[in-house]
Amino acid sequence: MDSLRGKAVIVGSADTKVGVIAHMGATQLCVEAICLALEDAGIAKNQVDGLITCNSMADPYMYHAEMIAEYMQIFPSYCMSIGAGGGTTFTALHHAASAIATGTCNTVVIAMADSLRSGLSRERAMMMQSSSGHPQFESPYGPTVPAFYALIARAYMDAYGATEEQLAAVAVAMRTHAARNPEAQMRDLITIEQVLQSRMIADPLHLLDCSLVSDGGAAIVMMSAERAADMKQPPVFILGVGEGHSHEHISQAHSLITSAAVDSGRRAYEMAGLGPKDMDLAGIYDCFTPVVLIELEDLGFCGKGEAGAFVEEGNIDLGGLLPVNTHGGLLSHCHSGNPGSMFALTEVVKQLRHAAGDRQVSQAETALVHAQGGIMSSHCTLILGRDNS
């Protein structure tokens, strides 16, 4: 088959309000995101013939995408719910691009929302956490999600001599980005000291090394590059996409310090015909601070063991070599579960439309977004551009 490069574009993109949105349920947030994205694209709902969603934890349905279609009275020819944790968003986009390129459908909406903050009791949220482990060989040991990532953090620090200060520098950088974003959940600037002094959750991860728990949703509208020519918004081209899947459970990972982002990144770069140096900015999955360091390395932005210094030198800040998560990321903008990486995507779309206001990356032409789900399990990398050349 021909490469997917440049075949599909994003023509609509929107977030709901995020943070603590107690007056809206998860289904409502999902529908709201779709309405906003269709409005952004200037498209009526009867033009939507493809719908991809992920299930909600707070308000689950057995057939979630069908439920959303039913709720909105949309009658698609292509409809599915996807579950790959944080990687869900971009694997959904991979499927949508394929469906558009093969003519399976014309206009695909990808929508995701959840109410982790307001829709789940603490007990249910903790039960959800323990259910992410292997039911027989991990969950009996009572691990929390931060504990799984702490195993990765400790192995990474041991292998490369990375410090807690370097992990904290990621949290500080994300908060600095969020301070420029009026939509972000946490906007008060923090220091390395404050991160290190925040409560220890699972050694070496402090509270401020961990992402937020939020409500919120986002949606995008995709179509073929040809059809997008006379749309309301300038199209954002999908130049490359690649996935890598190495395990489901962390105890089965072959490496704790190098991830399948190496594979997903290589596949995306190859399709795009571009490399790390061509990226003007990035959206990097930041559920916990060490993940950003490992992904920066695995995606080729610096060598193994060098990401701590790369971050400390200010390279992921606005004006740095590779601004990362200019919206504030999962650490400071919001993290509503599986939909979390949607916000990195909608931010990059905003940046590539040159519509990011105070936090605009100057002359942003090409961007990489990367997400992973499970415990560094399912990786998907996208390369997006303002033009198709």
Partner 1 sequence: MPAQTSKILPIPTPETETYWKGCAAHKLLIQYCTNCDHFQFYPRSICTQCMSRDIEWKTASGRATVVSYTVMHRSVSKAYGDEYPQILALVRLKEGPQMMSHIVDCRADKISIGMSVEVTFQDWTDEVSIPVFYPLSS
Alpha-carbon distances, residue 293 vs 93, 220, 298 (angstroms): 25, 28, 9
Could you say which of 22, 126, 189, 355 contacts partner 1 (CB under 8 A)?
Answer: 126
- Cβ atoms within 10 Å, residue 217: 34
Compute the Cα dihedral for 281, 289, 90, 53 and give only its sign: negative
Verify binding: residue 189, partner 1, rule CB under 8 A. Answer: no
Give CA–CA dist 273/140, Å, rounded: 46
Which SS3 state, helix, strand or coil, does residue 236 take? strand
Q: Cα–Cα distance between 209 and 264 in angstroms, integer?
A: 25
Looking at the Cβ atoms of 203 and 387, the one nearer to partner 1 is: 203
Stretch that binds partner 1, among 50-58, 180-188, 202-210, 270-278 (CB under 8 A): 202-210
Instruction: Look at residues 233, 219, 203 and name the one whose alpha carbon lies nearest to residue 33.
Output: 219
| Lookup: tokens for 134 | 């292997």
Here's the x/- map for partner 1, 334-363, by CB under 8 A: it reads as ------------------------------
**8-state DSSP, 361:** P
Sheet holding 236-245, edge to edge: 78-81, 50-53, 108-115, 215-224, 8-15, 236-245, 378-385, 366-373, 281-284
Complex with partner 1: residue 17 or 247, whichever CB lies closer: 247
| Strand 378-385 to 78-81 pairing | unpaired
Applying the rule CB under 8 A, the residues between 141 and 180 that interact with partner 1 are: 141-144, 146-147, 150-155, 158
User: Per rule CB under 8 A, is residue 250 in the interface with partner 1?
Assistant: yes
Rounded to whole angstroms, the Cα distance separating 16 from 356 reads 16
Q: Which of 104, 106, 130, 198 binds partner 1 (CB under 8 A)?
A: 130
- Nearest to partner 1 of 42, 140 (CB atom): 140
Q: How far is the CB of 122 from partner 1 (least distance, A)?
A: 9
The correct pick among 3, 98, 118, 129 for binding partner 1 (CB under 8 A) is 129
- Which 205-234 positions form the footprint of partner 1 (CB under 8 A)? 205
Q: Given the structure tokens 């995306």, which residue do they identify?
A: 268
203/313 with CB nearer partner 1: 203
Cβ neighbour number for residue 197 with a 10 Å cutoff: 13
Choose between 70 and 158: whose C-beta lies nearer to partner 1.
Answer: 158
Closest CB 199 distance from partner 1, rounded Å? 8
Stretch that binds partner 1, among 190-198, 237-245, 247-255, 301-309 (CB under 8 A): 247-255
Residue placing its CB nearer to partner 1 in the complex, 123 or 358? 123
Site string for partner 1, 298-327 (x = CB under 8 A): ------------------------------
The Cα–Cα gap between 292 and 361 comes to 20
Interface with partner 1 (CB under 8 A): 123-124, 126-127, 129-130, 133-144, 146-147, 150-155, 158, 199-205, 250-252, 256
